[in-house]
């Protein structure tokens, strides 16, 4: 196996792994975005900023309080989810009866504020974050070298996506959620506290983004602008997967990551634009996205 599809296998698998890692993050982020959109009908422009706050949360816990990676992996999403609850109660709550576009604009403003504040405090150069000791090093798979932490990220992402899918499709709480997405008034009439459900959903989506942020901290540097361009890729992923489809958002996340990785191996110049080309093709062939329902 000296050559694989016209290139050394190490390079090929290396790029594929890189794509898979990116895909794992895309999947976690687009999942949260899809859940929030399904429930609040708001495209959360601040999702990238939330992811960044997650990474910073881990960094701050480490550097100011000496709290390591594992507790931070639980603590940070909880803290960020709490902040999300406050934001939802203070700002987003007032936008539900308006045109959806206002929700997008308000969260855009929030993203500017959050990223601006962190940039003001920490500058734009990245801050390093150590890989937890248990996951340092890697495994030689024979055809390639697999860093343990990256394998962990992919595994966690799959568990998390599956867990969220299970929560929404198979549990009673998820049933309420889906019912509320379908018909809010009717669910209210059955005595379920819809506003609380909405707040919880937003907290869940935001928490997912923060979780992704914590996991991203050791791989990418912790940087106030780390979510800035990412959010647009995530938008494209959600369009490809089909708006409001949880399964679609997850699978499209991995798909986009892998396609990006392969493009980087074969034609590096196009690697940052291939997502958008994929989006255009999907829009022409299947306007409602790969897994979206026809409206």
Partner 1 sequence: MLPRTYFLAFLVLLALLPHVLYPVFLMQLLCMALFACAFNLLLGYTGLLSFGHAAFLGGSAFIAGQAAKVWELPIELSILAGTLTGTLLGVGFGLIAIRKQGIYFAMITLALAQMVFFYALKAPFTGGEDGLQSIPRSNLFGIIDLTHEVTMYYFILALFLAGFLIIFRIIHSPFGQILKSIRENEDRAISLGYRVDRYKLAAFIISAALSGLAGSMKAMVSQVVSLSDVHWSMSGTVVLMTLIGGTGTLFGPIVGAAIIVSMEHYLGEYLGSWVTIIMGVIFVICVLTFRQGVVGELEQRLIKRKLPFQSQDSTS
Q: Of 181, 211, 167, which is closest to residue 74 (Cα–Cα)?
A: 211
> Which residue(s) pair with 27 in the sheet?
none
Q: How far apart are the first and last CA of the chain?
A: 48
Does 116 engage in binding with partner 1 (CB under 8 A)?
A: yes
Q: Radius of gyration (Cα) for the chain, nearest Å?
A: 19
* Distances, alpha carbon 122 to alpha carbons 74, 125, 235, in Å: 24, 8, 27
Total of chain residues touching partner 1, rule CB under 8 A: 43
Contact map string, positions 208 to 247, toward partner 1, x by CB under 8 A: ---------------------x--x--xx-xx---x----
Looking at the Cβ atoms of 2 and 285, the one nearer to partner 1 is 285
Looking at the Cβ atoms of 65 and 280, the one nearer to partner 1 is 280
Shortest spacing between CB 177 and partner 1, in angstroms: 20
Does 31 engage in binding with partner 1 (CB under 8 A)?
A: no
Does 106 engage in binding with partner 1 (CB under 8 A)?
A: yes
Beta carbons within 8 Å of 187's beta carbon, 6+ residues apart:
176, 179, 180, 194
Does 101 engage in binding with partner 1 (CB under 8 A)?
A: yes
Does 112 engage in binding with partner 1 (CB under 8 A)?
A: yes
Q: Which two tokens stand for residue 86?
A: 């406050």
Residues 78-97 that bind partner 1 (CB under 8 A): 91, 94-95
Rounded CA gap, 169 and 163, in Å? 10
Give the three-class secondary structure for 127.
Answer: strand
Residue 245 contacts residue 86 (beta carbons within 8 Å): no
One residue of 105, 135, 158, 192 binding partner 1 per CB under 8 A: 105
Shortest spacing between CB 156 and partner 1, in angstroms: 27
Which residues in this chain contact partner 1 in the complex, by CB under 8 A? 37, 43, 91, 94-95, 98-102, 104-106, 108-117, 119-120, 229, 232, 235-236, 238-239, 243, 269, 272-273, 275-277, 279-280, 283-284, 287
């Amino acid at each position: 196996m000296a050559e694989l599809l016209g290139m050394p296998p190490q390079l090929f698998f290396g790029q594929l792994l890189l794509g898979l890692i990116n895909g794992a993050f895309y999947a976690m982020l687009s999942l949260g975005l899809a859940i929030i959109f399904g429930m609040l009908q708001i495209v959360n422009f601040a999702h990238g900023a939330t992811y960044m706050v997650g990474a910073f949360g881990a960094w701050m816990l480490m550097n100011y309080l000496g709290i390591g990676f594992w507790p931070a992996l639980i603590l940070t999403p909880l803290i960020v989810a709490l902040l999300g609850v406050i934001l939802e109660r203070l700002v987003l709550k007032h936008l539900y009866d308006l045109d959806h576009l206002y929700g997008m604009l308000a969260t855009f403003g929030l993203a500017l504020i959050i990223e601006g504040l962190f940039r003001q405090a920490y500058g734009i150069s990245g801050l390093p974050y150590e890989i937890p000791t248990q996951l340092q090093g890697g495994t030689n798979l024979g055809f390639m070298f697999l860093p343990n932490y990256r394998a962990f990220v992919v595994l966690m992402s799959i568990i998390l996506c599956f867990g969220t899918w299970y929560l929404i499709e198979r549990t009673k709480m998820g049933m309420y959620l889906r019912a509320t997405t379908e018909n809010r008034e009717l669910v209210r009439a059955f005595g379920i506290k819809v506003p609380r459900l909405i707040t919880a959903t937003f907290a869940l989506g935001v928490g997912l983004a923060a979780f992704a942020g914590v996991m991203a901290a050791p791989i990418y540097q912790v940087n106030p602008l780390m979510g800035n361009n990412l959010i647009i890729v995530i938008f494209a992923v959600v369009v490809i997967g089909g708006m409001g489809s949880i399964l679609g958002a997850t699978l499209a996340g991995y798909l986009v990551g892998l396609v990006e990785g392969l493009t980087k191996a074969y034609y590096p110049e196009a690697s940052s634009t291939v997502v958008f080309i994929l989006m255009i093709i999907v829009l022409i062939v299947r306007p409602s996205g790969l897994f979206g329902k026809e409206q």
